[in-house]
Amino acid sequence: MHSINFNEGTTMSASVIQFFYEAMKSQDPAALATSLADDVVIAEPSALPYGGTTTSRDEFFQKVPGWLNQFSTWQFVEGEIFGDGDRLAGLWSAVFTAHASGETFRYQQFERYEVRGRAISKVDVYQSDTQGLIDFFKKNGPAW
């Protein structure tokens, strides 16, 4: 397991989110798992093929990364964290690259977080262009 490093001047909750972003950027599944509570609730837009609400870390890993890895790579580009206390928000961008066509899709995602202890306990996800992401999946991904 990985430990969370706390930066001077950063709240513990913000450090948890920063660690989550670093785990996404490095594509380290063990670190990503460490940043999420066992019973994390993650609500994705229901129109996405992996959309809806997951209610555990294991369910999230089976549903979201499992589906995405079938047809694309994914790269975290940058992120910013807002707020303090145990409820925060983040805005980040990433790029999908389709395995078959090489086509890329860059998007931004806004997330609301709740942190419990040293892990994220809830995430509400909002994409800036959900329809664009759906169109990219339909063009480049497996049928759903």
For residue 59, CA distances in Å to 7, 10, 33, 70, 118 come to 31, 30, 12, 17, 20
- For domain 12-140, give the CATH number: 3.10.450.50
Full-model pTM: 0.86
Least confident range from 19-23, 83-87, 113-117, 130-134: namely: 83-87
pLDDT in tens, 31-85: 999 999 999 999 999 998 889 999 999 999 988 887 777 878 889 999 999 997 8
* 3-state helix, strand and coil shares in percent for the chain, rounded to the nearest 5: 30, 40, 30
Q: Tokens in use for 84?
A: 């303090």
In 3-state terms, what secondary structure has residue 21?
Answer: helix
In the DSSP assignment, the letter for residue 98 is E
Q: Can you tell me the distance from the alpha carbon of 126 to that of 56, in angstroms, rounded to the nearest whole number?
A: 19
The beta-strand segments (E) located in 1-144 are: 36-44, 52-54, 72-82, 87-98, 104-116, 119-127
Q: Can you tell me the distance from the alpha carbon of 110 to that of 115, in angstroms, rounded to the nearest whole number?
A: 16
pLDDT in tens, 79-117: 999 997 899 999 999 999 998 899 999 999 999 999 999
Residue among 53, 60, 6, 54 nearest 29 (CA)? 60
Q: Tokens in use for 37?
A: 């509570």
So where are the chain's domains? Answer: 12-140
Q: Can you tell me the distance from the alpha carbon of 137 to that of 72, in angstroms, rounded to the nearest whole number?
A: 9
